């Protein structure tokens, strides 16, 4: 693991895992002239949060695709199976600063839709602020969450190459993820949902990525509290050159911050479709790692899906809310059992 002030210094990009998120993360600093303009067009950036709560699942995202800015939010009521979602799109309305903490704010704002993240430069407490009106596009979402950075887990920050293809720019990604205890209250389609920082979490997901033309990945995450600290996971499978760093990790109690981040290798996602009655809903997925430290089953409860087909571009994406059960194991051999731990799993197949 390395410590740097910027992702790119003197036109040279750093690769690997970082001890913390670099202060400046701008992949375009590696390019100049016409090449920079092309790389900017291909760059996809987003900052989102996954919400971990025993009664509700959900996530939100602000995305900047350069030619279009979008934002989405959803809440899933585990008791009733109801999925509530809202989205908006506009040109040039997303603010995703390269200095995420120093500049202090990410936002997407159009009439009737306002989603903001306010980051504390001292990294003590961050905020999520939601003010979305009910409309024909979706239900109302309102409220504010405070994210406690003090007891948060160690950050995951990775710069990695992706597998090169004939079309598109040189594929590479930067991602930053961290688990924050969350407090506050949200109103989701008229339902009031309280967040308790001893139990509930918000997991940040930042990407600054040049995706290949054909982009495929599986990804899942969860978190839960123990007397010793937070246990969680960021599990991913995508096409990368051999020997390059991927983003999969476990968060395990211990280390100077209270929760250490430990790499995991060779994660696979295997849907379990055998002996499942037709129309019985989405199938569970087995998630395991080549090093034997992850042995989990994800059981979906609800699914948010987006499917688009254009001439040269297409997307087939879903994110499922559900529960995890099984075992994860720390590098020191400590085992942690999951039984109904809330979390999400998503799958993307796209031509971008």
3-state helix, strand, coil in the chain (%, to 5): 5, 60, 35
What pLDDT is stored for residue 152 in this prediction?
Answer: 81
What pLDDT is stored for residue 275 in this prediction?
Answer: 54
Is residue 53 a contact partner of residue 64, using CB atoms and an 8 Å limit? no
Per-position pLDDT tens, the chain of length 352: 889 999 999 999 999 999 999 999 999 999 999 999 989 988 999 999 999 999 999 999 999 988 889 999 999 999 999 999 999 998 877 889 999 998 889 999 999 999 999 999 888 899 999 999 999 888 999 999 999 988 889 999 999 988 765 554 578 999 999 999 999 999 999 999 999 999 999 999 999 998 776 778 899 999 999 999 999 999 999 887 777 788 999 999 987 767 899 999 999 999 987 555 555 567 899 999 999 999 999 999 998 877 655 544 556 788 999 999 999 999 999 999 999 999 999 998 765 5
Residues in the chain: 352
3 state DSSP class of 188: strand
Cα–Cα dist 13/30, whole Å: 6
Expressed in angstroms, the distance from the first to the final Cα of the chain is 31
| Distance set, CA 185 to CA 190, 191, 195 (Å) | 12, 10, 6
Is residue 267 a contact partner of residue 237, using CB atoms and an 8 Å limit? yes
157, containing H or E segment = strand 156-161
Is residue 220 a contact partner of residue 226, using CB atoms and an 8 Å limit? no
| Distance set, CA 127 to CA 82, 144, 227 (Å) | 26, 7, 25
What pLDDT is stored for residue 98 in this prediction?
Answer: 94
Cα–Cα dist 116/248, whole Å: 27
pTM above 0.75, yes or no: yes
Tokens 């918000």 belong to 202
Tokens 């879903």 belong to 318
Cα–Cα dist 231/337, whole Å: 10
254, containing H or E segment = none
């Amino acid at each position: 693991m390395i410590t740097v002030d910027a992702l790119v210094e003197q036109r040279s990009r750093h690769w690997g895992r970082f001890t913390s998120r670099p202060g400046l993360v701008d992949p375009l600093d590696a390019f100049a002239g016409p090449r920079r303009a092309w790389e900017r067009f291909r760059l996809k950036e987003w900052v989102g949060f996954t919400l971990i709560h025993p009664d509700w699942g959900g996530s939100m995202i602000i995305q900047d695709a350069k030619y279009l800015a979008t934002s989405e939010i959803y809440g899933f009521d585990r008791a009733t199976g109801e999925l509530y979602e809202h989205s908006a799109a506009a040109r040039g309305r997303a603010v995703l600063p390269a200095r995420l903490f120093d500049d202090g704010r990410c936002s997407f704002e159009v009439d009737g839709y306002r989603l903001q993240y306010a980051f504390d430069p001292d990294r003590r407490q961050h905020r999520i602020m939601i003010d979305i009106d009910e409309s024909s596009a979706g239900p109302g979402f309102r409220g504010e969450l405070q994210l406690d950075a003090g007891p948060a887990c160690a950050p995951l920050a990775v710069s990695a190459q992706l597998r090169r293809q004939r079309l598109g720019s040189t594929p590479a990604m930067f991602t930053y993820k961290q688990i924050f205890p969350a407090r506050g209250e949200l109103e989701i389609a008229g339902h009031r949902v309280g967040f308790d920082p001893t139990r509930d979490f918000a997991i940040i997901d930042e990407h600054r990525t040049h995706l290949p033309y054909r982009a495929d990945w599986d990804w899942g995450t969860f978190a839960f509290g123990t007397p010793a600290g937070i246990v969680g996971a960021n599990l991913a499978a995508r096409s990368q050159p051999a020997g390059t760093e991927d983003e999969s990790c476990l968060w395990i109690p211990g280390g100077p911050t209270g929760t250490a981040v430990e790499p995991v290798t060779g994660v696979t996602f295997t849907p379990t479709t055998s002996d499942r009655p037709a129309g019985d809903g989405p199938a569970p997925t087995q998630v395991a790692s080549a090093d034997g430290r992850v042995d989990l089953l994800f059981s979906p409860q609800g699914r948010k899906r987006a499917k688009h087909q254009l001439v040269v571009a297409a997307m087939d994406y879903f994110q499922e809310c559900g529960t995890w059960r099984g075992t994860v194991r720390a590098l020191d051999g400590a085992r942690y059992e999951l039984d109904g731990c809330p979390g999400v799993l998503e799958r993307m197949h796209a031509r971008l």
